[in-house]
Structure formats: structure tokens, C-alpha cells
A and B are shown apart, each in its own frame.
Chain A
């Protein structure tokens, strides 16, 4: 019997538990020649904020051992540009579209959420909190619990769409942030975002990224991500979306076994554009082999006495 891979997250019904990670799949059209969007669990688009942004100077990425360091700096068309230029394309597909949002202030986050609330074809919002609050100094939305609570609360008040805060990994107690998201009205959480890092060049004695520091992603961060997903899933009742270094179905199954109801594939898509499709197929094959009928049977099945 074919296993049922469908899952429901925050009221979003997905045909399988594998989505794209924000910022690694563009807005959809970039990979549409290579990947049938309708085969994905969900498409998560690159982060959108209120107004068009240009992002950081170059170089913006540097390869590291089994990882990728990026400081792209969130360039984007702004909320109006996104809705005008990309939503008509995305609406042609039968796949949930989750829009990743960010802001420079609490008010901006709420404003972006409010504007997207009325747009047809959006299944949910994922909130990127890994950026600094320019209004209130250097506090990061994702690492300062009070700021985090304020931003999630403000977005909750601004939208009826399913709300998925995306946790930053560089905090002392991930459970605290997970619980805070749940208490502030989140319908699910996703993690992890990239891990802060840097790379330098001994010949030029300079930084490899124009921004000096960046976020590390890819297989290099998988063990870190796995632990944080495990801890976060234990801390809350709302569903968890796990990501960080997923390349194979085995990686995805590990994240699900420690408590993630769905997973996202990021950096690996740059290497092999059809990674998410391969992961879906691999999960199906494994479930068939193991006689597992639904995703729910597998999620959280880690032996953890």
C-alpha cells in the first residue's frame, strides 16, 4: 500500500511534508523549468518586506567546508512588487504558497502581514526574525525574547493567515523562543535560520564577504539544527518545520523523527535543483520499506526515554 505523505500544518494542507526554504528557491519561476512546483509540499518564497530593497554589496556568498556562508542582505521587490510580479505566476500552481516576511521595525512587520492578508493564493506567513531592529538599536528580533514576543504579537493582530515564526539558532534556550511563539499566537514554528559565521582570506587579509559576517547553511549545520529542532519540538504543542543542512531523504527523516512534522530543503537546492523531489521520493520509499502508513506515525518517533 502506498503511504499517505500528506500533512497539515497550521491549517495548511500539504501533499507531502517537504517544502522549499526561504531564499533558496527564489519566488518560484527561477526553478520552474527544473522542478514541478505541484510536486512540492509547499513553496516558501524569498523574504519580503514593505518596500523594495537592494541588499548587500558583493561578494555575498562564500563556500566553506560542507557549508555556504551568505550575506545576501534581503534584496527584494517589496510587498506590492511581489504581489504584482509573482503572485499571478504562483497562483497557476496547485501548491500552498508560504510568504516569508521581514521588517526593520515591529510596525513594518505588522504592515507587511496586513497587506498580504487580503491577497488571494497565499497559504501562510513565515516570519524571518533574523534581522536587526533598526528603530530600537541593535537588538535582534530573533535573539531578544522581548522583541521576538512583540513582533509575533503584532503580526498576529494584523493577519488571519497561518503564522509561522522562524526561529534563529543562536540563542541560549531555544525552548523559550518556541514557547513564546506559541503563547503569542503562532500556528507553527520553523527552524533553523542560518547560523552566524565568517570567513577571511589570509592572502588579502580581508573578509570574504563584503558584509564581513554572514549566515552559515548547508550540511555543516545539520547536527546543530537537529538538536535545536528536537528541543523546540519538545517545548511546544504546535507543529514544527525543521530545516538546516537537509540533502537526502535520510536527513529529512531524521528531522521528522526528532519531532518536525515537515521539513524544508535550502542550500542543497543550489547544488541539485531537484533535491526536494528526491527527498519526497526517498521518504516514500522508506515508508514503504518500513511499512509506515502516514507521516504522523513517523513524526516524533525517536526513542527518547
Chain B
């Protein structure tokens, strides 16, 4: 974990309010493991004190990329950043995804920018499996080509039916499970909104799948000191809090109290 002044290398709008930001971060980039995140101080946003957390989309040597969606003041201001400008980043943070179990069939489930947290796992997985991408509409389905190029078979669902099949991502997951004859032993890697993770977790628990979920709780410090980012996990006497920034953001589905997740 380090603080680094990264330099913007490339900054491009992808589609519908999503942006790709590639930076040079020679200290942090080589240390990132799949599913970890960085905490970004948005330049020129003085009245908002806190950093913003983003999953590391990919790294290549000294380069590190994030993929972000415009949702508020921080992500709107970030858009003005130009190649050559610098920004302070803290990372790599959190516990990412474990290496896929070679004895299981890898399955990725991503909602919206959730795919950014999963791409490094997709890239490094020795066996390529199936990836389910879901979003509200076509503009929320990102980087399908990148996953396919890595050898993954991608299935798309959109709520409005503007791309792929109409529905939600778990519909596609259910159909695949039935079509597979329930014979495979899947290991799921999921990232997306709380509701989606909850639905994925319910299936994984019912069907005895191994499953890992990356949560995006609001964060303060990003390093475990402020206790902002906590969620309820099973503990010795019922439950305890776990810090998404330190014990997470990736949790085994069995550990989270899903009934408490919104």
C-alpha cells in the first residue's frame, strides 16, 4: 500500500457516461492483484474532501487503468483530467479475488462497471469460462470484446432489452445452470450493485456453488481506520462488522449476512 502521484496517460469516454482512465503509476501498478482497488483524490475538487474508490480495471507494467461511471460530483470533475496531468492515488487496497480453483468451472457475473473489478481475474484465469454481463440498457454493457478476446464466452442481459436478452443477469445465469444439466462445479466471481450480488448469493448458497462477491460500500479512509465501509458478516456470536476496504471488498458469499444488504 502506497501513495503515488500518478500521471494521466490516456483518458477516453467509452459510452453513455463511462470513462476509461489510464495512468502511469510505476510504484502501485506492478503490485495490484485482481479485485483490488485504488483510492483516488479527484483533482480540482477541493470542497469534497474524501478520496473516491475505484477497482483496478487492468495493469500493464507501469500502467494502471480504471473504468468509471459519472454518478456525482467526483466522477464528473474527474472527467476534466487531461493526459500529462497528475493525480494522487492510494493503493493497492483491499483483498481481491482469490486465484480461480482449477477444479471448478469459472463463472463471472458483472453488473455495469462491476466488470472492471473482474477483468484481471478473467485475464489471469487458467481456464476460461462464461461471463454474464447485466445492465439497465446497452450503454451499461462494457468491454465485451475484451472478455471475449481473453477466451470467455459472454452472455448479455439488459433490463430494457436494448442489447442481448431482456431481463436481469440472474435470469441468464439460471438458464445456463439448467441447460448445463447442473453437472458443472462452478466458481462464481461477481461484482455489481448490492441487489444483484444478493440475488447471485442466494443462488450460490442454494446450489452449493463456490462464490466470491466484491461489494462497493461507501468509503472514507480506504485503509481500515474510519469504520465507514462496514458490512455485517457471520461471527462467533451471530454477527460482526467487516470492513469492505480491508477484509473486503471481496467476500465469500457464505460470510456475508445478505438479509442486511440493500
Q: Which residues of A contact B (CB under 8 A)?
A: 23-26, 30-31, 33-34, 46, 54-55, 58-61, 63, 65-68, 70, 72, 75, 218-219, 267-274
Contact = CB atoms under 8 A, between A and B. Distances in A.
Given A24-B226, A54-B241, A270 B2 contact: no
Given A24-B225, A30-B225, A63-B50, A272 B220 contact: no
A273 B3 contact: yes
21 contacts: A26-B225, A30-B221, A30-B223, A31-B225, A33-B2, A54-B241, A58-B228, A60-B227, A61-B226, A70-B220, A70-B226, A70-B228, A72-B227, A72-B228, A75-B241, A218-B49, A269-B221, A269-B225, A270-B222, A270-B225, A274-B3
Nearest to A65: B47
Interface string B69-97: 00000000000000000001010000000
Contact of B47 (A24, A34, A66, A72): A66
Contacts of B10: none
Interface of B: 1-3, 41, 46-51, 88, 90, 217-218, 220-228, 230-231, 240-241, 246
Contacts of A46: 225
Contacts of A268: 49
Given A61-B218, A272-B3, A68 B50 contact: yes
A24 B225 CA distance: 6
Contacts of A273: 3, 90, 221, 223
Contacts of B225: 24-26, 30-31, 46, 269-270
**B interface majority secondary structure:** loop
A31 B41 contact: no
A46 B3 CA distance: 23
B228 A34 contact: no
B32 to A, nearest CB: 15
B1 A270 contact: no
Contacts of B224: 26, 30
Contact of A271 (B1, B47, B50): B50
A270 B50 contact: yes
Given A30-B225, A60-B228, A219-B49, A68 B220 contact: yes
Contact of B41 (A25, A72, A218, A271): A271
B49 A267 contact: yes
A34 B2 contact: yes
B227 A55 contact: yes
Nearest to B48: A63
B27 to A, nearest CB: 12
Contact of A270 (B49, B217, B230): B49
Contacts of B226: 23-24, 61, 70, 72, 270
Given A61-B220, A68-B49, A68-B220, A272 B88 contact: yes
A34 B227 contact: no
Contacts of B223: 26, 30-31, 34, 273
A270 B3 contact: no
Given A63-B50, A72-B228, 20 more contacts: A30-B224, A31-B225, A34-B2, A34-B90, A46-B225, A54-B241, A58-B230, A59-B228, A60-B228, A60-B230, A67-B49, A75-B227, A75-B241, A270-B50, A270-B220, A270-B221, A270-B222, A270-B225, A271-B51, A272-B3
A253 B62 CA distance: 39
Nearest to B219: A61
A218 B46 CA distance: 12
Contacts of B47: 65-66
Nearest to A62: B218
Q: Top 6 closest A-B pairs, CB basis?
A: A26-B225, A30-B225, A270-B221, A30-B224, A61-B228, A33-B1
Contacts of A59: 218, 228
Contacts of B240: 54
A61 B50 CA distance: 11
A291 to B, nearest CB: 32
Contacts of A67: 49
A65 B3 CA distance: 24
B96 to A, nearest CB: 17
B49 A63 contact: yes
Which of B47, B223, B224 lies at the interface centre, i.e. has the most chain A CB atoms within 10 A of its CB?
B223
Contacts of B217: 58
A177 B217 CA distance: 39
Nearest to A23: B226
Which of B49, B221, B228 lies at the interface centre, i.e. has the most chain A CB atoms within 10 A of its CB?
B49
A46 B46 CA distance: 27
A23 B88 CA distance: 23
B53 to A, nearest CB: 12
A61 B222 CA distance: 13
A272 B4 CA distance: 11
B33 to A, nearest CB: 16
A219 B230 CA distance: 25
